[in-house]
Amino acid sequence: MVEITGSSPSEFAVVRDRFAAQFDQDEALGARFTACVDGQVVLDLIGGSADLAGTTPFGPDTLTPVFSTTKAVMALMMARLVDQGLITYDTPVAEIWPAFAQAGKEPVTLAQMMSHQAGLPGFLPPAEPEIWFDPPAVCERLAAQAPLWPLGTGSGYHPITIGYLAGEVFRRLDGRTLGAALREDICVPLGLDLWIGLPDSEHGRVAQMRKPPAAPDLGQIDDIKRAAFLDRGSAPGGRGSGDWRRMEIPSANGHATAAALARLMAVIAGDGSLDGRAVVSRETLTALTREQVRGPDKVLPFDLIWAAGLMKNTGSNGLGPGHQAVGHYGWGGSMAMADPERRLSVAYVMNKQSVHLVADPRPVALIEALYASF
């Protein structure tokens, strides 16, 4: 039996039981599930091992790579630029980044870019995997590249490239990298254990990941999906895990605790503030979560509804029953979501990855039990 620690009031006993059962059924190695109401933690479940050998407990200070769940954090940081009046969601990206106008991309707005409509889910022709460790080279390639589908014809999930695109816009407007601004403006003042670009001093706290047993199902494969997920250079490689952790890739290499993610998502679930500190205005929250595009995604094999960097609830993408819920999943099962109707925010992190790109059954089961407990 795996010991479950954290805090679990009696009204959430069913959630705790489901969390514990996932270890008993060998569905989890180490994991944490945190829920907040009005930004305050009401449930925090921790269990299992942070290492593959099972010798180090998964604890409150364990950091977990959350992969694409990082995009929810990125979306909120981009919204802060809008809130500060530095850009609007309707601003063409090329007004901020003139080179981006190449190859027919001049009309692409910030909202379209953040909702995966810019047609740049990967490199075509393919690049070498080492390129991802050279952000200026990535941005130069993406700025010059033509969209892989006609603009205005739908979304195509940008697994990694969106982090470089957003990061370049952020740097040009703010003067800092997105990861540095996150740390200075949000995480340090609010005490959130959340990082995009992890310093060496924190590497010892990172959970060891058990990779999924198979590749995710992308449906029928075409050149767009190959560029996004399957080409040799579609993901960073050629360097060690330390270099990966140090990099700032706002789409893919966040490290966090579930508590930090759930607390940050409370900004979106509430009025734009956390612990009385304003993060974004209500007006900007409305713009951030407004629907931008819906329908069959050209990369992921799902019908999706995209806001400006967040998935909106479709009823089948693992974001609970709330009609206004938004959030994001990460490779292997991590997730973070916000439900403004209930002022509820939730996050799940783990170190045993599954094959699911969205709606991993483990957090879905916990979220289902959580809603039934209120």
Query: Which positions are annotated as active-site residues?
Result: 68
- 46-51: list long-range contacts, CB under 8 Å, 24+ apart: 46/4, 46/5, 46/6, 47/2, 47/3, 47/4, 47/5, 47/19, 47/20, 47/23, 48/2, 48/23, 48/351, 49/351, 50/207, 50/208, 50/351, 51/207, 51/208
Omega of the bond leading into 125 within 30 degrees of 0 (cis): yes
Question: Sheet containing 254-256: which strands, arranged edge to edge?
Answer: 64-67, 254-256, 194-196
For residues 59 and 48, what is the distance between their CA atoms, to the nearest angstrom?
9
- The tokens for 228 are 């996004």
Q: Is 124 left (phi over 0), alpha (psi -120 to 50) or beta?
A: beta
Q: Which of 254, 235, 258, 237 is nearest to 246 (CA)?
A: 254
For residues 181 and 184, what is the distance between their CA atoms, to the nearest angstrom?
5
Neighbours of 205 (CB within 10 A): 16
92: amino acid identity, one letter: P
